[in-house]
Structure 1
């Protein structure tokens, strides 16, 4: 290919694509919605390798976004809904996406996401421990009639 080695051409294409993707002020929300759909049900049929490739492609689009903070706001809302309603297809995929965002933007960007995920894991652990405790405890109830 004649354009593969031309850095100016590649830079121009990247600049134009960045301009194009940011023309629509809703692009960060749309990307977050796309990721939400994929992390809810869209990656179920994919194996881990294909799922990671899909997340990598989404990260390519993410890099072009100028308003990453807007994406973070929507992604946080969507992730919270997935975690609270237990709609995420895989904790591993959630972790993988968080790690990709962390590699791209740093730990401050993903701190709240990591805390949300940690809280969900803690809740699951405590909930399971309580269920086990409740099943193991025998409650005796002695009732005696009261005469009036």
Structure 2
């Protein structure tokens, strides 16, 4: 899914504007409106849009001040939403079946930044531990890989 596809998917939910923002600000969300830094690559814009959609669906109020535990929890909820949207476990399995061999190729396959992929994998380790079974396959998060088990032979 491309940035444009995510924009189309979200058009009934939020209004998105691209504009030049301060160098350190990639995106902002407030009251159904998302602002994305125009200077970003399409892959970065896609990641930022997903995170801002996460805020739309999971947070409430103004959480710019990250010194409070409540605001940090809301930020984590929004990012977790984005991780599951852009790096779903079934897509990791699809990447394995497509012959993807490393993190760089996986990030490209998923159309996310390598940093976002690494953060998603760290979050999955926090949530599931070092591995998770998905559709009869085992996704190992550290080291990253997918394990296919042989079916047991009954005689």
- Give the TM-score normalised by structure 1: 0.32
Question: Which structure has the highest helix share of the two?
Answer: 1
Q: Which has the higher contact order (CA 8 A, sep 6+)?
A: 1
